[in-house]
Structure 1
Amino acid sequence: MLFVLHCLDGVDGTGRRPALMAEHSARLRTASPKPLVYGPLLSDDGESGIGSLFIIDVPDRAAAEAWADADPFRTGGVWQEVRVHRFRQSANAPVQLPVENA
């Protein structure tokens, strides 16, 4: 099943992010499962990071929550809020994500 993780930084997220970036990036390269899509959420000016967005393929919501909770940005206090939503891609989308846990 696909899940979207919408992760919003806390008040001091910008200050904490640089110290944890290398560990966070290393996890994204080695995490199981690897996210299908991910990237930073930016402020309207496109300059400041305000969070992160992921699409992951896991068996259930508990696995999605555990995946997010294991990230250094979560354990290190960068993300204040993590919203988890089940996601179904449209058959009409121009790009189709590979799904194993359907």
Structure 2
Amino acid sequence: MFWAIHCLDRPGTAALRAAARPEHSARLRSGTGPRPVFYGPLVADDGTTAIGSLIVVEAGTREEVADWVAGDPFTTEGVWERADINALLPSQNAPVRLTTPAP
């Protein structure tokens, strides 16, 4: 199952985000926990100032995703003010198809 994780940063945490980014990015690429499918920073209308994150992962349960989010450096270092997790059913009409990899 796919899950969308929509995170918004606490105001004034740009320096915390920058400091935690290397560990956050390494964790996304680590291959442990839910499988990241798509991710990137949410930015302000200026196109450069990070205000949060959007991550789509594949995982069995919402609890697995919630535990993974709770352990993310952006959570533990106080960057994210909130993280909403929702099940995602990809449209068969989408221009890009999300598929489950073969075992």
TM-score by length of 1: 0.91
* Superposition pairs of residues 7-86 of structure 1, within 5 angstroms: 7-32=7-32, 33-86=34-87
TM-score by length of 2: 0.90
Deviation at 1:21, TM superposition (A): 1.1
1:2/1:99 contact within 8 Å kept: no
Question: Per-residue displacement from partner, 1:44-82 (whole Å, max 9, x unpaired)?
Answer: 111200000000011111111111111100111000100
Question: What SS does structure 2 have at the residue aligned with 1:82?
Answer: strand
CA distance in 2 between partners of 1:14 and 1:50 (Å): 8
What's the C-alpha RMSD, in Å, of the aligned pairs? 1.2
Structure 1 unpaired stretches of 5+: none
2:35/2:59 contact within 8 Å kept: no
Structure 2 unpaired stretches of 5+: none
State the number of aligned residues.
100
Runs of 4+ in 1 over 4 A off after TM superposition: none
Percent identity, aligned pairs only?
Answer: 42
